[in-house]
Protein backbone atom coordinates (compact mmCIF):
# COMPACT_ATOMS: atom_id res chain seq x y z
CA UNK A 1 0.00 0.00 0.00
CA UNK A 2 1.34 3.42 -0.94
CA UNK A 3 1.85 6.15 1.60
CA UNK A 4 0.07 9.46 1.14
CA UNK A 5 2.07 12.64 1.32
CA UNK A 6 0.76 16.12 0.51
CA UNK A 7 3.02 19.13 0.91
CA UNK A 8 1.56 22.09 2.79
CA UNK A 9 0.35 25.22 1.03
CA UNK A 10 -0.75 28.57 2.43
CA UNK A 11 -4.25 27.24 3.08
CA UNK A 12 -3.80 23.45 3.27
CA UNK A 13 -1.86 21.38 5.81
CA UNK A 14 0.88 18.85 5.34
CA UNK A 15 -0.66 15.39 5.19
CA UNK A 16 1.46 12.35 5.89
CA UNK A 17 -0.11 8.89 6.01
CA UNK A 18 2.33 6.04 6.50
CA UNK A 19 1.08 2.45 6.37
CA UNK A 20 4.42 1.06 7.64
CA UNK A 21 4.35 3.06 10.88
CA UNK A 22 0.51 3.16 10.95
CA UNK A 23 0.65 6.90 11.47
CA UNK A 24 -1.37 9.81 10.11
CA UNK A 25 -0.16 13.38 10.57
CA UNK A 26 -2.01 16.60 9.76
CA UNK A 27 0.20 19.62 10.26
CA UNK A 28 -0.12 23.36 9.63
CA UNK A 29 -3.05 25.45 8.51
CA UNK A 30 -6.29 23.84 7.32
CA UNK A 31 -8.68 26.10 5.43
CA UNK A 32 -8.89 24.55 1.94
CA UNK A 33 -11.11 26.25 -0.60
CA UNK A 34 -12.97 22.95 -0.93
CA UNK A 35 -12.52 21.01 2.30
CA UNK A 36 -14.31 17.86 1.13
CA UNK A 37 -12.28 17.60 -2.08
CA UNK A 38 -9.00 18.26 -0.29
CA UNK A 39 -9.53 15.51 2.31
CA UNK A 40 -11.00 12.99 -0.18
CA UNK A 41 -7.55 11.42 -0.76
CA UNK A 42 -7.06 10.95 2.95
CA UNK A 43 -10.43 9.19 3.35
CA UNK A 44 -9.63 6.97 0.38
CA UNK A 45 -6.26 6.12 1.96
CA UNK A 46 -8.04 5.32 5.27
CA UNK A 47 -10.41 2.91 3.48
CA UNK A 48 -7.44 1.00 2.06
CA UNK A 49 -5.55 1.23 5.36
CA UNK A 50 -8.53 -0.29 7.19
CA UNK A 51 -8.32 -3.43 5.04
CA UNK A 52 -4.54 -3.61 5.40
CA UNK A 53 -4.43 -3.29 9.19
CA UNK A 54 -7.19 -5.88 9.71
CA UNK A 55 -5.23 -8.25 7.48
CA UNK A 56 -2.02 -7.47 9.39
CA UNK A 57 -3.56 -8.17 12.82
CA UNK A 58 -5.12 -11.40 11.52
CA UNK A 59 -1.60 -12.68 10.79
CA UNK A 60 -0.02 -11.62 14.07
CA UNK A 61 -0.63 -12.02 17.77
CA UNK A 62 0.88 -8.60 18.42
CA UNK A 63 -1.06 -5.42 19.01
CA UNK A 64 -0.88 -2.74 16.32
CA UNK A 65 -0.96 0.89 17.27
CA UNK A 66 -2.42 3.58 15.00
CA UNK A 67 -1.06 7.04 15.69
CA UNK A 68 -3.03 10.12 14.65
CA UNK A 69 -1.11 13.37 15.05
CA UNK A 70 -2.73 16.80 14.85
CA UNK A 71 -0.13 19.59 14.72
CA UNK A 72 -2.37 22.46 13.76
CA UNK A 73 -1.65 26.15 13.63
CA UNK A 74 -5.17 27.02 12.55
CA UNK A 75 -8.19 25.21 11.12
CA UNK A 76 -11.53 26.56 9.91
CA UNK A 77 -14.90 25.26 11.02
CA UNK A 78 -15.35 23.10 7.88
CA UNK A 79 -12.06 21.35 8.68
CA UNK A 80 -13.32 20.80 12.24
CA UNK A 81 -16.17 18.72 10.87
CA UNK A 82 -13.80 16.66 8.71
CA UNK A 83 -11.41 16.07 11.64
CA UNK A 84 -14.32 14.70 13.67
CA UNK A 85 -15.02 12.27 10.82
CA UNK A 86 -11.36 11.18 10.67
CA UNK A 87 -11.37 10.45 14.41
CA UNK A 88 -14.69 8.57 14.11
CA UNK A 89 -13.35 6.50 11.20
CA UNK A 90 -10.21 5.51 13.14
CA UNK A 91 -12.25 4.77 16.26
CA UNK A 92 -14.40 2.38 14.21
CA UNK A 93 -11.24 0.67 12.92
CA UNK A 94 -10.00 0.34 16.53
CA UNK A 95 -13.33 -1.13 17.65
CA UNK A 96 -13.12 -3.75 14.90
CA UNK A 97 -10.23 -5.61 16.56
CA UNK A 98 -9.00 -5.94 20.13
CA UNK A 99 -5.46 -5.98 18.73
CA UNK A 100 -5.70 -2.43 17.39
CA UNK A 101 -5.07 0.57 19.63
CA UNK A 102 -5.64 4.17 18.52
CA UNK A 103 -3.41 6.89 19.95
CA UNK A 104 -4.30 10.52 19.20
CA UNK A 105 -1.71 13.21 19.83
CA UNK A 106 -2.90 16.81 19.80
CA UNK A 107 0.00 19.27 19.62
CA UNK A 108 -0.47 22.94 20.52
CA UNK A 109 1.61 26.06 20.97
CA UNK A 110 2.02 26.78 24.68
CA UNK A 111 -0.06 29.98 24.71
CA UNK A 112 -2.56 28.97 22.01
CA UNK A 113 -5.62 28.49 24.22
CA UNK A 114 -8.04 28.13 21.28
CA UNK A 115 -6.23 25.17 19.69
CA UNK A 116 -5.90 23.45 23.09
CA UNK A 117 -9.55 24.14 23.85
CA UNK A 118 -10.59 22.71 20.48
CA UNK A 119 -8.61 19.54 21.19
CA UNK A 120 -10.37 19.14 24.54
CA UNK A 121 -13.75 19.54 22.79
CA UNK A 122 -12.77 16.91 20.18
CA UNK A 123 -11.91 14.55 23.04
CA UNK A 124 -15.27 15.20 24.71
CA UNK A 125 -17.37 14.93 21.55
CA UNK A 126 -15.68 11.89 19.99
CA UNK A 127 -15.06 10.03 23.26
CA UNK A 128 -11.53 9.32 22.07
CA UNK A 129 -8.69 9.57 24.54
CA UNK A 130 -6.14 12.15 23.43
CA UNK A 131 -2.64 13.19 24.49
CA UNK A 132 -2.14 16.96 24.66
CA UNK A 133 1.42 17.92 23.88
CA UNK A 134 2.72 21.48 24.20
CA UNK A 135 5.30 22.47 21.54
CA UNK B 1 -30.47 54.73 2.81
CA UNK B 2 -26.82 54.25 1.83
CA UNK B 3 -25.02 51.21 3.19
CA UNK B 4 -22.01 53.34 4.27
CA UNK B 5 -24.22 55.44 6.57
CA UNK B 6 -25.61 52.38 8.31
CA UNK B 7 -22.12 50.87 8.75
CA UNK B 8 -20.81 54.20 10.09
CA UNK B 9 -23.68 54.43 12.57
CA UNK B 10 -23.07 50.87 13.74
CA UNK B 11 -19.33 51.50 14.11
CA UNK B 12 -19.93 54.81 15.93
CA UNK B 13 -22.14 53.00 18.40
CA UNK B 14 -19.78 50.11 19.09
CA UNK B 15 -16.23 51.11 18.17
CA UNK B 16 -14.00 52.59 20.88
CA UNK B 17 -10.58 52.78 19.19
CA UNK B 18 -10.02 56.41 18.23
CA UNK B 19 -6.42 56.33 17.09
CA UNK B 20 -5.48 52.86 15.86
CA UNK B 21 -1.79 52.00 15.56
CA UNK B 22 -2.74 50.02 12.46
CA UNK B 23 -5.92 50.09 10.40
CA UNK B 24 -7.09 48.54 7.15
CA UNK B 25 -10.51 48.74 5.52
CA UNK B 26 -11.87 47.37 2.27
CA UNK B 27 -15.15 46.69 0.54
CA UNK B 28 -14.52 44.43 -2.42
CA UNK B 29 -15.24 41.23 -4.26
CA UNK B 30 -13.22 38.49 -2.57
CA UNK B 31 -11.91 35.18 -3.88
CA UNK B 32 -9.57 32.58 -2.41
CA UNK B 33 -6.45 34.20 -3.91
CA UNK B 34 -7.30 37.64 -2.53
CA UNK B 35 -8.15 36.12 0.85
CA UNK B 36 -4.81 34.26 0.97
CA UNK B 37 -2.92 37.45 0.08
CA UNK B 38 -4.75 39.46 2.73
CA UNK B 39 -4.17 36.80 5.40
CA UNK B 40 -0.46 36.73 4.59
CA UNK B 41 -0.30 40.54 5.00
CA UNK B 42 -2.16 40.34 8.29
CA UNK B 43 0.16 37.65 9.65
CA UNK B 44 3.16 39.84 8.82
CA UNK B 45 1.50 42.89 10.38
CA UNK B 46 0.75 40.99 13.61
CA UNK B 47 4.40 39.87 13.76
CA UNK B 48 5.65 43.40 13.14
CA UNK B 49 3.46 44.78 15.94
CA UNK B 50 4.43 41.97 18.35
CA UNK B 51 0.80 41.00 18.97
CA UNK B 52 0.71 38.16 21.55
CA UNK B 53 0.14 34.68 20.08
CA UNK B 54 -3.19 34.16 21.81
CA UNK B 55 -4.58 37.46 20.46
CA UNK B 56 -3.22 37.18 16.93
CA UNK B 57 -4.50 33.61 16.56
CA UNK B 58 -7.97 34.62 17.77
CA UNK B 59 -8.08 37.54 15.33
CA UNK B 60 -6.73 35.42 12.48
CA UNK B 61 -9.33 32.72 13.13
CA UNK B 62 -12.18 35.23 13.26
CA UNK B 63 -11.04 36.96 10.06
CA UNK B 64 -10.87 33.61 8.22
CA UNK B 65 -14.31 32.47 9.39
CA UNK B 66 -15.98 35.82 8.71
CA UNK B 67 -14.49 36.35 5.26
CA UNK B 68 -15.01 32.71 4.22
CA UNK B 69 -18.64 33.04 5.35
CA UNK B 70 -18.89 36.25 3.35
CA UNK B 71 -17.51 34.52 0.26
CA UNK B 72 -19.95 31.61 0.67
CA UNK B 73 -23.09 33.46 1.66
CA UNK B 74 -22.87 36.92 0.13
CA UNK B 75 -25.61 37.80 -2.31
CA UNK B 76 -24.35 36.80 -5.76
CA UNK B 77 -25.84 39.80 -7.54
CA UNK B 78 -23.76 42.53 -9.23
CA UNK B 79 -23.00 45.48 -6.93
CA UNK B 80 -24.39 43.58 -3.94
CA UNK B 81 -21.64 40.98 -3.77
CA UNK B 82 -18.91 43.09 -2.14
CA UNK B 83 -17.54 42.10 1.24
CA UNK B 84 -16.76 44.80 3.79
CA UNK B 85 -13.97 44.39 6.34
CA UNK B 86 -12.23 46.72 8.77
CA UNK B 87 -9.42 45.87 11.16
CA UNK B 88 -8.34 48.40 13.79
CA UNK B 89 -5.44 47.57 16.08
CA UNK B 90 -5.32 49.75 19.19
CA UNK B 91 -2.81 49.73 22.03
CA UNK B 92 -4.79 47.27 24.17
CA UNK B 93 -7.68 46.24 21.93
CA UNK B 94 -8.36 44.98 18.41
CA UNK B 95 -11.64 45.64 16.62
CA UNK B 96 -12.86 43.62 13.65
CA UNK B 97 -15.82 44.49 11.46
CA UNK B 98 -17.39 42.55 8.61
CA UNK B 99 -20.40 43.08 6.37
CA UNK B 100 -22.09 41.64 3.32
CA UNK B 101 -25.50 41.37 1.69
CA UNK B 102 -27.17 38.00 2.24
CA UNK B 103 -29.81 36.02 0.42
CA UNK B 104 -33.29 36.49 1.85
CA UNK B 105 -33.67 32.73 2.36
CA UNK B 106 -30.62 32.73 4.69
CA UNK B 107 -32.03 35.48 6.91
CA UNK B 108 -34.23 33.39 9.30
CA UNK B 109 -31.48 30.91 10.24
CA UNK B 110 -28.91 33.70 10.55
CA UNK B 111 -31.19 35.70 12.87
CA UNK B 112 -31.90 32.54 14.86
CA UNK B 113 -28.15 31.98 15.34
CA UNK B 114 -27.58 35.65 16.27
CA UNK B 115 -30.37 35.44 18.84
CA UNK B 116 -28.88 32.23 20.30
CA UNK B 117 -25.46 33.86 20.61
CA UNK B 118 -27.00 36.88 22.37
CA UNK B 119 -28.97 34.73 24.80
CA UNK B 120 -26.69 31.82 25.58
CA UNK B 121 -23.42 31.71 27.49
CA UNK B 122 -19.98 30.71 26.22
CA UNK B 123 -20.25 27.04 27.25
CA UNK B 124 -23.66 26.56 25.61
CA UNK B 125 -22.45 28.11 22.33
CA UNK B 126 -19.41 25.84 22.39
CA UNK B 127 -21.62 22.82 22.99
CA UNK B 128 -23.92 23.87 20.14
CA UNK B 129 -20.99 24.28 17.75
CA UNK B 130 -19.37 20.92 18.45
CA UNK B 131 -22.70 19.09 18.50
CA UNK B 132 -23.56 20.53 15.09
CA UNK B 133 -20.06 19.78 13.78
CA UNK B 134 -20.34 16.14 14.84
CA UNK B 135 -23.91 15.55 13.62
CA UNK B 136 -22.67 13.33 10.79
CA UNK B 137 -24.35 15.48 8.15
CA UNK B 138 -22.28 16.39 5.09
CA UNK B 139 -20.88 19.86 4.55
CA UNK B 140 -23.33 22.24 2.92
CA UNK B 141 -23.45 22.71 -0.86
CA UNK B 142 -21.46 25.89 -0.29
CA UNK B 143 -18.82 23.93 1.62
CA UNK B 144 -19.55 25.22 5.10
CA UNK B 145 -20.15 23.34 8.33
CA UNK B 146 -22.75 25.91 9.43
CA UNK B 147 -20.87 26.67 12.64
CA UNK B 148 -18.60 29.57 11.65
CA UNK B 149 -20.80 32.11 13.40
CA UNK B 150 -20.52 30.14 16.66
CA UNK B 151 -16.75 29.84 16.23
CA UNK B 152 -16.50 33.64 15.95
CA UNK B 153 -18.62 34.09 19.08
CA UNK B 154 -16.45 31.61 21.01
CA UNK B 155 -13.16 33.18 19.91
CA UNK B 156 -14.44 36.67 20.78
CA UNK B 157 -15.65 35.41 24.18
CA UNK B 158 -18.99 37.10 23.65
CA UNK B 159 -17.60 40.50 22.59
CA UNK B 160 -19.56 40.28 19.36
CA UNK B 161 -22.35 42.51 18.03
CA UNK B 162 -24.29 41.32 14.99
CA UNK B 163 -27.22 42.74 13.11
CA UNK B 164 -29.18 42.10 9.93
CA UNK B 165 -30.35 45.38 8.35
CA UNK B 166 -32.96 45.84 5.68
CA UNK B 167 -31.25 47.90 3.03
CA UNK B 168 -32.20 48.77 -0.55
CA UNK B 169 -34.92 46.07 -0.39
CA UNK B 170 -32.24 43.52 0.46
CA UNK B 171 -30.65 42.29 3.68
CA UNK B 172 -27.21 43.27 4.93
CA UNK B 173 -25.41 41.35 7.69
CA UNK B 174 -22.93 43.26 9.81
CA UNK B 175 -20.63 42.03 12.59
CA UNK B 176 -18.40 43.94 15.00
CA UNK B 177 -16.00 42.15 17.34
CA UNK B 178 -13.63 43.33 20.06
CA UNK B 179 -10.60 41.28 21.11
CA UNK B 180 -8.75 42.23 24.30
Which pLDDT tens digit goes with each residue over A117-133? 999 999 998 888 999 99
Chain A nearest CA to B9, separation (Å): 31
Compute the nearest-CA separation of A120 from chain B (Å). Answer: 11
On average, the pLDDT of chain B sits at 90
In this prediction, the residues of chain B whose per-residue pLDDT falls under 50 are none
Query: What's the pLDDT score for residue A17?
Result: 98
Give the residue on A whose Cα is nearest the Cα of B35. Answer: A11
What is the ipTM, given to two decimal places? 0.89
Beta strand A4-6 with A14-18: parallel, antiparallel or unpaired? antiparallel
Interface residues from chain B to A (CB-CB < 8 Å):
32, 36, 39-40, 52-54, 57-58, 60-61, 64-65, 68, 126, 129-131, 133-134, 138-139, 143-145, 147-148, 150-151, 155
Provide the number of structural domains found in chain B. Answer: 1
Closest residue of chain B to A80, computed from CA coordinates: B133
CATH number for A4-134 (one of 3.30.750, 3.40.50, 3.30.1360, 3.40.1010): it is 3.30.750
**Contact A34/B134, CB-based, under 8 Å?**
no
Domain that holds residue B126: 2-179
**Which of these, A68, A40, A74, lies nearest to B53 by C-alpha position?**
A74
According to the model, what pLDDT value does residue A65 have?
97
State how far residue A106 is from chain B, nearest Cα, in angstroms: 17
pLDDT confidence of residue B104: 92
- Domain holding B109: CATH number? 3.30.565.10
For the segment B96-105, what is each residue's pLDDT rounded down to a tens digit?
A: 999 999 999 9
Q: Could you give the C-alpha distances from A108 to A8, A114, B57, in angstroms and in order?
A: 18, 9, 12
Query: Mean pLDDT over residues A15-38, rounded?
Result: 96
B96 in Cβ contact with B64 (< 8 Å): no
Amino acid sequence: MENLHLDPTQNTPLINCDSKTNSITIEGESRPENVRAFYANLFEWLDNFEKLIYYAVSLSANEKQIELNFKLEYFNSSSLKVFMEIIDKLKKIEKGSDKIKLVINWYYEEDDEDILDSGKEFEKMTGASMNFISN
Amino acid sequence: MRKELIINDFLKEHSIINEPIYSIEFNELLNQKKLDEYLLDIKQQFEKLNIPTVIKKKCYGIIVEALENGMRHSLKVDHFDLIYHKLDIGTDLIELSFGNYIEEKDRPILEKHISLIEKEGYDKIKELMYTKASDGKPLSERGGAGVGIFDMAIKSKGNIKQKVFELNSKFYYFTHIKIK
